[in-house]
Structure 1
Amino acid sequence: MDGTHDNDVIVVGSGVIGLTTAVLLAERGRRVRVWAREPAERTTSAVAGALWWPYRIEPAALVGDWSLQSLVIYEELAERAEETGVRMVDGVQGETRLDDLGPWAAQVPGLRPATRDEYDGPGVWARVPLIDMPVHLGWLRARLARAGGTVEARTAGSLDEPLTEAPVVVNCSGIGARSLVPDGSVRPVRGQLVIVENPGVRTWFASARSAGQASTYFFPQPDRLVLGGTAQDDDWSLTPDPATAEAIVKRCAAVRPEIAGARVLDHRVGLRPVRPAVRIEREPAADGRVLVHNYGHGGAGVTVAWGCAQEAARLADEAAAS
């Protein structure tokens, strides 16, 4: 096959989906190269609030299992929080009842209705993974390197390009899949965040009670507090909007008044790669080569990363065996 090795795999995309998939493949003995259009620190994953919670992602019938598979791994990684960036943190999902959640909720340890002291309204209390994405992405990259994998700064104009260099290609291109596949069903849902000094908030909070495309959430990371957010459909702008930022702070301060006076450190914007349903599928290509798709994770890429990576790696292994 044009000088390629049967054991080669190229993973297109260096966000959390791409790196997690690459790690699993490399640790199974595959020779893995990741093609990165941009450094992991500049991907949508790096901007993510990164709370484990199935959000804006389908199909519901599969998402629960993917999420729970990932939860088990994150719980293990949280034992080395400084190294992995994963911590188990308590918090409230507001405007939510247990009955609103899928079957997956019964498998989350300690998930229960919030008390009136915890939240004045319907809500559920949960201790779930909260991930410091810059740390976690760096850890994934280091774990990949230890397994013999490499990351290359390389942009694919089409998926035919990596298929000329490896018998198996795994497409984890996120929002890039819209043009790369091409798949017109992939569309951006814009999320804007405000990063502030943490005034002492130790628990997370999230609620979609706000009208329209706004939501309210704050996530305490070790050196900052992440405030959000927005869910603006089909908006490609990566420029933070000052009025939106002001509204985000105001909504968060309505829940925790001490946030109002917190010093602003940064403004960030990310584009969630939303699709009607996640695509994890094997597609035959020319000359016996195989393309495996793993994209369309919307606002829950971190939540399902390990579960989806296991499925994509299985398909890649089957491709190599056939």
Structure 2
Amino acid sequence: MIVVGGGIVGLTTAVVLAESGRRVRIRAREPGERTTSAVAGGLWWPYRIEPEELVGEWALASLAVYEELAARPDETGVRMVEGVHGETALDGLGAWAARVAGLRVATAEEYPGAGLWARLPLIDMPAHLRWLRGRFVAAGGAVEARTVSDLAAVDARVVVNCTGLGARELVPDPSVRPVRGQLVAVENPGVTTWLTSVDHAGSESTYFMPQPGGLVLGGTAEEDVWSMTPDPVIAEEIVKRCAAVRPEIADARVLDHRVGLRPARPAVRLERELLPGGRVLVHNYGHGGAGVTVAWGCAQQAARLATG
């Protein structure tokens, strides 16, 4: 059994399969630390992902796993951290929200406008990806640094396609499109909570997330933009938006500029396809801005499709 793709979705799917007793190999062009997953903000929350009726269950299944992993943050990279989703109301969320423990309307002291307070998993992605890879190898899995150019030609009875944006050319699936996200990492001036304020109608958002390596500031959601080069003007605007909420951010030393391309699709593709000779191809891609949020739920369903 071969899982193609080494980002958060591919690694998590491979872990679930390997720990169920299957012999699994990951075949990926790049290690997890060089994928889009590695530059993600890392906050659990269903964002820019469809279909809503399925996303909730996938997200809640993942939340349960992350809550367990948060007991070992130094090992797993997962912590439970308090924060506020600004400009967000309970009645604008799906049924899944009622099952998120402690989710409530933010007080005026916590946020000046309408918002929701929550204590959610915040994941240090480079650390978590390394941990997932180690867990996979410990379960008997193997990782191969190889480029796959034809899914049907992969030498395995079962192939699981977790190639994210790569599925656009590999499947091919032209409905997979990039949504560019730019972030700025700065020295943390003492911020201990996260905050998001997302304009779903536009390409700009405001968020900051305290990670062990610094405070991650965002962000953008630029549809059909492929550039991986950080734009200094956008970076300056990101810092200004975050500093308008927490003024101490304005003088924080910049550590890094990051860009990732979210693999957007009208809806996640999670389905089984039969190949010639009785072989099976399972697709698990198109998670947009919520690959981290649904990784375990989607991995569990992909494993059922792969082994059923």
* Band the TM-score falls in, shorter-chain normalisation: over 0.9
* Counterpart pick for 1:26 among 12, 18, 38: 18
* Counterpart pick for 1:190 among 163, 168, 180: 180
Q: Deviations over 1:57-82 (max 9, x none)?
A: 00000000000000000000000000
* Counterpart pick for 1:63 among 55, 62, 68: 55
* 2:125 corresponds to 1:133: yes
Q: Deviations over 1:87-117 (max 9, x none)?
A: 0000000001111111111100100000000
Q: Per the alignment, in what secondary structure is the counterpart of residue 190 of structure 1?
A: strand
* 2:35 corresponds to 1:48: no
Q: Per the alignment, in what secondary structure is the counterpart of residue 31 of structure 1?
A: coil
Which residue number in structure 1 is paired with residue 266 of structure 2? Answer: 276
CA 129–263 in structure 1, closer or farther in 2 if over 3 Å, else same: same
Note the 1:171-186 alignment, pairs <5 A. Answer: 171-186=161-176
Distance 2:201 2:161 in 1: 35
Which residue number in structure 2 is paired with residue 5 of structure 1? Answer: none
Distance 1:39 1:308 in 2: 21
Distance 2:102 2:289 in 1: 24
Deviation at 1:210, TM superposition (A): 8.5
Which residue number in structure 2 is paired with residue 312 of structure 1? Answer: 302
* Counterpart pick for 2:286 among 278, 296, 303: 296
* 2:239 corresponds to 1:236: no
Counterpart residue identity of residue 157, structure 2 = P
Q: How many residues align?
A: 308
Q: Deviations over 1:142-181 (max 9, x none)?
A: 000000001110001111231xx11000000000000000
Counterpart residue identity of residue 179, structure 1 = E
Larger CA deviation: 153-162 vs 118-127 = 153-162
* Counterpart pick for 1:10 among 2, 24, 28: 2
Deviation at 1:211, TM superposition (A): 6.9
Distance 1:282 1:136 in 2: 28
Structure 1 segments of 4+ aligned residues over 6 angstroms from their partners = none
* 2:205 corresponds to 1:215: yes
Q: Please tell me whether the aligned partners of residues 210 and 216 of structure 1 are also in contact (alpha carbons under 8 angstroms).
A: no
Distance 1:93 1:190 in 2: 21
**Structure 1: gaps spanning 5 or more residues:** 1-8
Q: Deviations over 1:217-259 (max 9, x none)?
A: 0000022100000000000000000000000000000000000
How large is the RMSD of aligned CA atoms in angstroms? 0.8
Distance 2:259 2:244 in 1: 22
The TM-score with structure 2 as length reference comes to 0.99
Distance 1:29 1:182 in 2: 31
* 2:130 corresponds to 1:159: no
Q: Please tell me whether the aligned partners of residues 189 and 233 of structure 1 are also in contact (alpha carbons under 8 angstroms).
A: yes
Which residue number in structure 2 is paired with residue 255 of structure 1? Answer: 245
Q: Per the alignment, in what secondary structure is the counterpart of residue 208 of structure 2?
A: strand
Q: Per the alignment, in what secondary structure is the counterpart of residue 235 of structure 1?
A: coil
Counterpart residue identity of residue 61, structure 2 = Q
Which residue number in structure 1 is paired with residue 140 of structure 2? Answer: 148
Deviation at 1:208, TM superposition (A): 1.2
Distance 1:231 1:241 in 2: 13
Which residue number in structure 2 is paired with residue 107 of structure 1? Answer: 99
Distance 1:93 1:241 in 2: 26
* 2:108 corresponds to 1:116: yes
**Structure 2: gaps spanning 5 or more residues:** none
Q: Deviations over 1:182-205 (max 9, x none)?
A: 000000000000000000000000
Distance 1:10 1:317 in 2: 12
* 2:86 corresponds to 1:76: no
